[in-house]
A and B are shown apart, each in its own frame.
Chain A
Amino acid sequence: MLQEKAEQIPSPILNVQGLSCERNDRLLFQHLDFELRPHQVLLVEGRNGSGKTSLLKILCGIRLADDGEVSWCGESIQRLGGEYTHQLAYVGHTDGIKLELSVAENLNMARAMGRPANVSIDTVLEQLKLSAHHDDMCRMLSAGQRRRVALGRLLITQAPLWILDEPFTSLDTQGVAFCEALIEQHITSGGMVVMTSHHAVNLDNQYVQRINLST
């Protein structure tokens, strides 16, 4: 009895029911259902233009679904508003960093906007292999390095749900390996990840759910 009670503490769960989305009068996907629990990765697959980015934006709450509902712990994310958005970290197509700010300034800004994690900027920069660029303007960095700064947002804030749109874009092989390790670590410590990728993702299959929007 007691054990059952302990289990009832709601663990975060992302639930999607009957989701449809159209763009320019074209149906991208319809009747999409899935569920994501801690320790799980959802890999969204599909060819170009099949609505992967739209799906991720709907999951973030930036875009409204044409039909269906996304809920977090049983509550609709539209109703939760800020209570939901501070649970998630989003890395989209655009890096979401300011080119006229230095690397450290960008990370500081990201930290101030979310729930700060217990790490210093220097530690994060070391992990990102950007220690030498602490005070460099992001304009001076290469595309891959800018991507790393964007991924730094995941480390500098604590959010159980990560939504990643093509996180490996412009990263070198070490960068991809680093990003995969990051995801794996997040998953094993109880996090959840929704991501799209055109590259094969090297993750333990026991964690991975796949969903294909082209079929």
Chain B
Amino acid sequence: MNELSLTRALYALLKRDLLLAVRRRSELANPILFFVLITTLFPLGIGADAKLLQSIAPGIIWVAALLAALLSLDHLFRSDFEDGTLEQLLLSAHPVSLLVITKVLAHWLITGLPLLIVSPLLALLLGLPADMVGVLMLSLLLGTPVLSLIGAIGVALTVGLRRSGVILSLLVLPLYVPVLIFASNAVDTAMSGMPVTGQLAMLAALLVLSLTLAPLATAAALRMSLS
């Protein structure tokens, strides 16, 4: 009980972030609302051309997911930075990169997972064939954690600035492009009846790459922002 325990620290941090999200609600509701709104606006704007909608559905859903992720990024470290808890995290005895992974996991559970859950509904709304929903969800499952991990670097770099919105998107969006390309291409390819293992393998590789490198970069960026 009186020793340092890494698992207890990580568990406490995860629980704290989830609890805070539930208590603040808007953090939980905003990204998902935004995601649903964007996707439902497209049919209204484009018209009821079922074929056209079907062919651009993967792109719409993925762009909406990407913007929803971008919108929610600031919550990751901003409030911790403002109330001084971020300093306390850096001063804990535990490796900051592991604390970062835990925070990103909490962030993904709060913002990424709900997108994954409502995506079948939106896919059907846009007329995507039912057997393509699986591929879409798989691409979201592999892709959205990458968005959170890469985004964490951007937020960590800009958290010390007062108006960081534009800089954050300029920093992060170019890095999101590979995910967008491979993910929407996976669904497109699946619709034309070809195998998608290549695209999914690339997404998985991006996930592994960002999971190993992004926390280190984020930890270093946080140290810089706080000093």
- Asked if A101 contacts B84 (CB within 8 A), the reply is no
Return chain B residues, CB-CB under 8 Å to A98. 16, 20, 83, 85
From the candidates B1, B9, B23, B82, name the one contacting A113 in the complex (CB within 8 A): B9
- Asked if A82 contacts B93 (CB within 8 A), the reply is yes
The residue of chain A having its C-beta at the shortest distance from the C-beta of B227 within the complex is A63
- Asked if A115 contacts B83 (CB within 8 A), the reply is no
Least CB distance from A97 to B in Å reads 7
A residues 81-109 in Cβ contact with B at 8 Å:
82-83, 85-86, 88, 90, 92-101, 105, 108-109
- Asked if A114 contacts B1 (CB within 8 A), the reply is no
Return chain A residues, CB-CB under 8 Å to B170. none
From the candidates A62, A101, A110, name the one contacting B90 in the complex (CB within 8 A): A62
Q: How large is the interface on A (under 10, 10 to 19, 20 to 34, 35 or more residues)?
A: 35 or more
Q: How large is the interface on B (under 10, 10 to 19, 20 to 34, 35 or more residues)?
A: 20 to 34
What is the CA–CA distance of A113 and B20 in the complex, to the nearest angstrom? 17
- Asked if A96 contacts B83 (CB within 8 A), the reply is yes
Known contacts A57-B227, A62-B227, A115-B2: A96-B16 contact under CB 8 Å: no
- Asked if A101 contacts B87 (CB within 8 A), the reply is no
The residue of chain A having its C-beta at the shortest distance from the C-beta of B90 within the complex is A62
The residue of chain A having its C-beta at the shortest distance from the C-beta of B93 within the complex is A86
From the candidates B3, B23, B24, B90, name the one contacting A115 in the complex (CB within 8 A): B3
Least CB distance from A56 to B in Å reads 11
- Asked if A60 contacts B91 (CB within 8 A), the reply is yes
What is the CA–CA distance of A97 and B1 in the complex, to the nearest angstrom? 23
- Asked if A64 contacts B227 (CB within 8 A), the reply is yes
Query: Does B67 touch A at the CB level, under 8 Å?
Result: no
Query: Does B46 touch A at the CB level, under 8 Å?
Result: no
Least CB distance from B144 to A in Å reads 25
Query: Does A116 touch B at the CB level, under 8 Å?
Result: yes
B80-104: CB near A (< 8 Å → 1, else 0) gives 0011110111111111000000000
What is the CA–CA distance of A97 and B88 in the complex, to the nearest angstrom? 9
Query: Does B4 touch A at the CB level, under 8 Å?
Result: yes
Query: Does B12 touch A at the CB level, under 8 Å?
Result: yes
Q: Which residues of B contact A (CB under 8 A)?
A: 1-5, 8-9, 11-13, 16, 19-20, 23-24, 82-85, 87-95, 223, 226-227
Cross-chain pairs A/B with CB under 8 angstroms, 24 sampled? A62-B91, A62-B226, A85-B92, A86-B93, A90-B88, A90-B91, A92-B84, A92-B87, A93-B84, A95-B83, A95-B84, A96-B83, A96-B84, A97-B85, A98-B83, A100-B24, A101-B19, A105-B19, A109-B12, A113-B88, A113-B92, A115-B3, A116-B2, A118-B2
